[in-house]
A and B are shown apart, each in its own frame.
Chain A
Amino acid sequence: MATCGVSAGAEKILGKLKGLAGSSTAVSVSATGCIGMCYREPLVEVSDGNSVFLYGDVTEERAEKIFASHVNDNKSVDEWVIVKDHASGEEFDYLKKQVKIVLRNCGVIDPDSLDEYINRDGYKAIKKILAGMTSEQVIEMMLASGLRGRGGGGFPTGLKWKFASQSKGPKKYVICNADEGDPGAFMDRSVLEGDPHSVIEGMMICGYAIGASEGYIYCRAEYPMAVRRLQQSIAILEQKGMLGDNIFSSGFSFRLTVKEGAGAFVCGEETALMSSIEGKRGTPKVRPPYPAVKGLFGKPTNINNVETFASVPWIILNGPEKYAAYGTEKSKGTKVFAIAGKARKAGLVEVPMGITINEIVNDICGGIKGGKKFKGVQMGGPSGGCIPAALAGTRIDYEEITKLGAIMGSGGMIVVDEDTCMVELARFFLAFTQNESCGKCTACRIGTLRMLEILERIVAGKGTEEDIPKLEELAQYIGKASSCGLGVTAPNPVLTTLKYFRDEYMAHIRDHVCPAHSCAALVKFVINPDACTGCTLCARGCPTKAISGEVKKPHVVDEAKCVKCGKCFTVCNFNAIRKD
């Protein structure tokens, strides 16, 4: 019952099943968060006392049949079961290599139920700490775990907490960065919607460790369900005295407020985020001073990402050594990735650091949709880079990925195939960062605009040979003269695509061809005579009357008249038009 589950129809199915169960005490129907298998939504899990069955692609009709057969008659409908006992089934490959630490409760508990969170070791970590650990001991545990900031920066969390704890003053703040601005990323949304208490508990532990009694969760407004769940969870905890003064009679007080973002990507940057909480425009500040010294309202502040906080209670309860047992030498633990784009199985996965990109794309996500050729992955959102398929044997590790020119990022991984134009992808990211630039630094504000103009000309088939060195020079300048991460990393998508897909740029510029058959200005719209039914829909809608043909006979596009608007492509109901 996360946002995408609901849009796939899960709410209606929940209603149907609840209706069928009625007031029966033998059957309990409840909602849960994201299981991560988005490509088979809606999902329904049935536990019948002996085994656990996960049904996929459930419709209201199928739900009725499942209830009648499995719940009433104890006969599972095996043809619709995709995973059994988390150990077998046609979709088990998707789960096999995953390790769920951050997502430990997502898809298992009802996120609106505090009791269900408590029954899965919820709030045990903070109780353990308040019963007799010092803040130094907590920070030592975080340092020993090797946890690094999961928002993309990868800074050691324990060290960040240590700096904030060393700052003097009676007033300090904890902030959770739940802005998740990277387009293509939905890891944080799933945690906030599926297990909000894990984040709240992590923030409480941080507050204790650094000496803060107040916290903010800055959540993007485009996640209304997450905002609601957080507010409701906080209200329940306040009612029970688990937030507020003297929590668990320990003398430790902690209060949390949810602040909604207002639609600015730059507010994912920590200093811009704090400006936004203060009620101002989200303009980043130069650092130093870092937030740990002077942050929100000028006070020492520790700010971490949702995934980072959600990992904390698990580390405290299971021990930092267990966390550090996963991963590589410098990148410990697990990372949640939101796989989207052209992968066959798009969804949410949590994998140990050290797994290769190939394993994620092929073993877990089943390769590329429609049998197309795997071209690469884009990691790190608009600040990140593209890694070609030839280098997909690279391990997920902060430093190994940085060596390739990309970044780990927050976890968005867009899989691209032979039909994705890498030049257009670079243009897309640059258009995004150009739009989202706060405007303060000339290099970012104007530099990205100049780079975007060059890319737009290249994509329109009007690029020149001089454009490439110009792009590279601008990229250097913007990277050096911007004062925040947005500007510094804005050229990354262009730099990595130039590094690994230079041939596509040259094809656009020298040959006026888009190798991926994607850029409208450089493709021909061709009607396949075998698929065309002569319905005349395309001809009637063509703005230049470039399509001709008789009714019920295959039509033809006159290339000379075609202005490549693509309208015919969008109206054809028979997939008879292709881009060559």
Chain B
Amino acid sequence: MGCRRIYYYLICVVKGDKVLNDTAYRFFSPEVAAAKTHKSDVIPLLQKVQVENGFVPVEAIHEISDITGAAESDIYSVVTFYKQFRLKAPGKYLIKVCDGTACHVNDSMLLLDVIREELKVDESNDTTDDGLFTVETVACLGCCSIGPVLFLNEDVHGKLTAQSVRKLLKEYRRKAQN
């Protein structure tokens, strides 16, 4: 926690300048920028950027600060608090392995190890070198009766085994090559 605090303080000191003087925002239409001006709109605006880009670029934080009046450091503290937001671009395929209780007792962590080993990624370096896959864990997808489960982008895959997971990765690799 201590390290995190120092880090975000440095970010606001270094990038303290406001980016925008006119209303040509890169991430938001003029209609959205005009409508979502309350501080409570920070999270929905961040979510819009996250969904459309797969992560939250720093420029988007500047724009949201401009639109809502919330301090950039406060917005940054929100981004780092919630798991939904990423500051780095993900791979083409975002794999979310469920580690909820039901999936956990059905050996989801074994599958995570299999996936990480196949793709040669780990907890700190979660994206493959070719930018194809990013692997994360997620607390619970609510599909407990078909566990263990993973989300691959929007698709849910359940009742997984080590073999079926390897097959899935091969399938998506092939898809990406075509």
Contact = CB atoms under 8 A, between A and B. Distances in A.
Chains A and B come from one and the same complex: yes
Interface of A: 3-4, 6-8, 38-39, 41, 180-186, 189, 221-224, 259-265, 276-282, 297, 338-342, 346-348, 378, 381, 412, 414, 416, 420, 425, 428-429, 432, 436, 438-439, 445, 566-567, 569-571, 573
B100 to A, nearest CB: 3
B114 A341 contact: no
A186 B81 contact: no
B101 A262 contact: no
14 contacts: A8-B158, A180-B142, A181-B140, A182-B140, A184-B101, A185-B140, A186-B143, A260-B43, A262-B43, A263-B83, A263-B138, A338-B145, A412-B144, A414-B101
A347 B142 CA distance: 11
Interface string B50-84: 00000000000000000010100010011001111
A282 B82 contact: yes
Contacts of B157: 7
B90 interface: no
Contacts, number: 149
B46 interface: yes
A326 B163 CA distance: 47
Interface of B: 1, 38-44, 46-47, 68, 70, 74, 77-78, 81-85, 99-106, 110, 113-114, 117, 138-147, 149, 154-158, 162-163
A221 B145 contact: no
Contacts of A436: 139
Given A184-B144, A278-B40, A263 B158 contact: no
Contact of B158 (A7, A297, A432): A7
A570 B162 CA distance: 6
Given A222-B139, A341-B102, 7 more contacts: A3-B156, A7-B146, A7-B155, A183-B99, A221-B84, A279-B70, A416-B105
Contacts of B41: 279
Most A-side CB within 10 Å, residue of B78, B81, B83, B154: B81
Contacts of A260: 43-44, 47
A428 B104 CA distance: 8
Contact of B101 (A41, A264, A428): A428
A4 B84 contact: no
B113 A262 contact: no
Contact of A566 (B110, B140, B143): B110
Given A41-B146, A182-B140, A184-B140, A7 B40 contact: no
A262 B85 contact: yes
B77 to A, nearest CB: 6
Nearest to A192: B142
Nearest to B99: A183
Most B-side CB within 10 Å, residue of A183, A439, A567: A183
Nearest to A571: B162
A419 to B, nearest CB: 9
Nearest to A188: B142
Contacts of B70: 279
Contact of A340 (B144, B154, B155, B156): B144
Contacts of B113: 566, 570
A260 B114 CA distance: 32
Contacts of A181: 139-140
Contacts of B85: 262-263
